[in-house]
Amino acid sequence: MPRETILVVDDEEDILELVDHTLSRGGLKVIRAKEGEEALDFVRKEKPSAVLLDLMLPGMDGLTVARLIKGDQMTRNIPIIMLTARGEEPDIVIGLEIGADDYVTKPFSPRVLLARVKAVLRRRSSEEPETLKPISVHNIVIDPGRHQVTVDDKIMQLTFTEFAILQFLAKRPGWVFTRSQIVDAVKGDDYFVTDRAVDVQIVGLRKKLGEAGSLIETVRGVGYRLRE
């Protein structure tokens, strides 16, 4: 079977060498890019299996690259793993908001990096056709195939992570999920993020849904649910 291709985007040659060596030994094909524009061009033409993306790049920064990838219908389902020295909570929240599938900080363990990349690839390949069927709850319709949410037939502009959280809650209306369960379901059980980051996503999701946002209920001391 052909090896899965990982696009590694970083302007530091030593990091590119280390990541290339690590992923190649792990059975993956690696393509390199040092600038955001170059990375976008490759993503649009070749559709790699995943993108390992540094935030701090010359010219177009990594956040802009990620937003453009996730904002394009043809590339939005390509997993993005942030690889950066910026590991404070605000940066993690930003990564979630633009749709990053994982977040690895420098310095990193090569073995851990390889495991995280493979975990993202496994999650992507394990998606079943059933998950593409539209979900209707109250006046909200979630269409995973089109990655689109409508409220009273009006299209909502949600981030990748907001969409994933809403879809997860909508699969079992009335069920209460803890913050850690939400993170595990949306990002995978090896993804580190604070409870605060989940709360930020819920606040943004409610605001964008307007009156329908009240359907997402907070269960004090437990977590969140979508009203049955």
Can you give the CATH number for the domain in which 56 is found? 3.40.50.2300
Which residue bears the tokens 């404070």? Answer: 88
Query: Looking at the structure, do residues 13 and 106 belong to the same domain, yes or no?
Result: yes
Position 183, amino acid = V
**What pLDDT, on a 0 to 100 scale, did the predictor assign at position 56?**
85
Domain that holds residue 194: 129-226
**Where does a domain end: 92, 125, 158?**
125
Task: Indicate the SS3 state at residue 103.
Answer: strand
Mean pLDDT of 1-9: 82
- pLDDT bin (cut points 50, 70, 90) of residue 212 is very high
Pick 124 or 130 by higher pLDDT.
124
CB-based contact 53:143 (threshold 8 Å): no
Q: Which residue has the higher pLDDT, 3 or 120?
A: 120
Statement: residue 1 has pLDDT above 70: no
- pLDDT for 131 beyond 70: no
Contacts of 168 (CB under 8 A, 6+ apart): 177, 182, 185, 186
Do 111 and 19 meet the contact criterion of CB atoms below 8 Å apart? Answer: no
Q: Quick check: 57 pLDDT over 70?
A: yes
Query: Per this entry, what is the length of the chain?
Result: 228
pLDDT at position 129 over 70 = no
pLDDT for the residue numbered 63: 87
The confidence score (pLDDT) of residue 130 equals 52
Paired tokens of 219: 């269960």
Q: What is the mean pLDDT of the chain?
A: 85
- In DSSP terms, 176 is beta-bridged to none
Q: Picking from 14-28, 175-189, 203-217, which range would have the lowest pLDDT averaged per residue?
A: 175-189
Residue 179 and residue 80 in one domain: no
pTM score > 0.85 for this model?
Answer: no
Confidence of residue 50 (pLDDT cuts 50, 70, 90): very high
Boundary-marking domain end, from 125, 144, 162: 125
C-alpha span between 54 and 56 (Å, rounded): 6
Question: What's the whole-number mean pLDDT along residues 68-97?
Answer: 77
d(CA 64, CA 70) in angstroms, rounded, equals: 10
Express each pLDDT in 140-170 by its tens digit.
999 887 778 999 999 998 887 888 899 999 9
User: What's the distance, Cα to Cα, between the start and end of the chain in Å?
Assistant: 44
The verdict on 23 and 120 lying in the same domain is yes
Q: How confident is the model at residue 176 (pLDDT cuts 50, 70, 90)?
A: very high
Domain termination residue (choose one: 125, 141, 176): 125
